[in-house]
């Protein structure tokens, strides 16, 4: 039974780590996309200011 408990705990930990990795990956992707959109927005506003 102890071996089964260890395997179950290991699987639980594995899924926890995997979901954490997925969450951090999604968070990083979101921040990168936000930074990219902010960069393009600032470029667009700078262009508009130059036109004015």
Provide the residue ranges of all domains of the chain, joining segments of one domain with +: 24-52
- Residue 31 CA to residue 37 CA, distance in Å, equals 10
Q: What is the structure's pLDDT at 36?
A: 84
How is 1-52 classified by DSSP, letter by letter?
Answer: -HHHHHHHHHHHHHHHHHHHHHHHHHHHHHHHHHHHHHHHHHHHHHHHHHH-
For residue 10, the model assigns a pLDDT of 81
Per-residue pLDDT of the chain (52 residues; tens, 9 = 90+): 687 787 778 888 888 889 999 999 999 999 988 888 887 777 766 666 666 5
């Amino acid at each position: 039974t102890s071996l089964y408990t260890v395997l179950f705990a290991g699987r639980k930990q594995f899924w926890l780590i995997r979901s954490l990795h997925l969450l951090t990956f999604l968070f990083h992707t979101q921040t990168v996309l936000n930074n990219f959109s902010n960069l393009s927005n600032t470029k667009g506003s700078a262009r508009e200011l130059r036109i004015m």
